[in-house]
């Protein structure tokens, strides 16, 4: 067994779509990013790669590579799972938290969990997604950014 920890943060800007866990959330602001800016999936991917000793998301899917411009982060999640499989590992469990002042994400968490579980071939109970505000503190609390943290448990395949 191995444990990986991941995090991500993106500045928010008006006129961009907000995608979290592969779910487009209704809001007037979205992340400034090379890809779709899905902070939740980016944190999960970083946790997966870190737990496997494979560096981070930028090592495998660099923002300097035009093929990743606007890419759906669910594709990156599945590609990261393939990298783990090549090394005889798979994700056994995911626990993640999205930090976003608004909008509230309660109605979207189930679909986010379902997407992550489906993309990683896990039962739904092996994935948990939480949503928190930052109580008005810092860039997340002021509504200027979205952040996410994730822990994954990896096991031998």
Beta bridge partners of 8: 148
Distance CA 18, CA 21 (A): 10
Is 123's pLDDT higher than 90?
yes
What whole-number distance in Å separates Cα of residue 135 and Cα of residue 77? 30
**pTM for the whole structure:** 0.97
pLDDT, residue 7, reads 98
Average pLDDT over residues 132-146: 97
pLDDT by residue (tens digit) across 1-44? 999 999 999 999 999 999 999 999 998 899 999 999 999 999 99
Question: Residue 23 CB: number of other CB atoms within 10 A?
Answer: 19
> 113 pLDDT exceeds 90?
yes
Does residue 135 register a pLDDT over 90? yes
Tokens of 14: 């008006």
Q: Is 147 a residue whose pLDDT tops 90?
A: yes
- Over residues 49-99, the pLDDT tens digits come to 999 999 999 999 999 999 999 999 999 999 999 999 999 999 999 999 999
* CA dihedral sign of residues 106, 43, 35, 141: positive
**Confidence category of residue 149, pLDDT binned at 50, 70, 90:** very high
Q: Looking at residue 27, what is its pLDDT?
A: 87
Q: Based on the number of CB atoms within 10 Å of its own CB, is 97 exposed (0-12), middle (13-18) or buried (19 or more)?
A: middle
pLDDT at 28 (0 to 100):
87
Q: At which residue do the structure tokens 């002042």 appear?
A: 101
CB atoms within 10 A of CB 70: 10
Contact 149, 9 (CB under 8 A): no
Say how many domains are in the chain: 1
Domain enclosing residue 87, as ranges: 2-156
| Bridge partner list, 6 | 150
Residue 133: CB partners within 8 Å, gap ≥ 6?
A: 99, 100, 101, 102, 140, 141
Read out DSSP for 124-139? GGGEEEEEE--TT-HH
Residue 60 sits at the vertex; the CA angle it makes with 108 and 124, to the nearest 5 degrees, is 30
What was the pLDDT predicted at 87? 97
Determine the pLDDT at residue 96.
98
Give the CATH number for residue 47. 3.30.1330.50
């Amino acid at each position: 067994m191995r444990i990986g920890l991941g995090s991500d943060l993106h500045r928010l800007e008006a006129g961009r779509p907000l995608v979290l866990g592969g779910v487009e959330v209704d809001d007037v602001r979205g992340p400034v990013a090379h890809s779709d800016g899905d902070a939740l999936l980016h944190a999960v991917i970083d946790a997966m790669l870190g737990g496997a000793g494979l560096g981070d998301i930028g090592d495998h899917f660099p923002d300097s590579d035009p093929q990743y411009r606007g890419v759906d982060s669910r594709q990156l999640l599945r590609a990261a799972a393939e990298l783990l499989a090549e090394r005889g590992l798979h994700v056994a469990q995911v626990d993640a938290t999205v930090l976003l002042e608004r909008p509230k994400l309660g109605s979207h968490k189930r679909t986010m969990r379902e997407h992550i579980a489906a993309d990683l071939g896990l039962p739904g109970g092996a994935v948990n997604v939480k949503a928190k505000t930052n109580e008005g503190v810092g860039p997340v609390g002021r509504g200027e950014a979205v952040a996410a943290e994730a822990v994954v448990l990896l096991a031998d395949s």
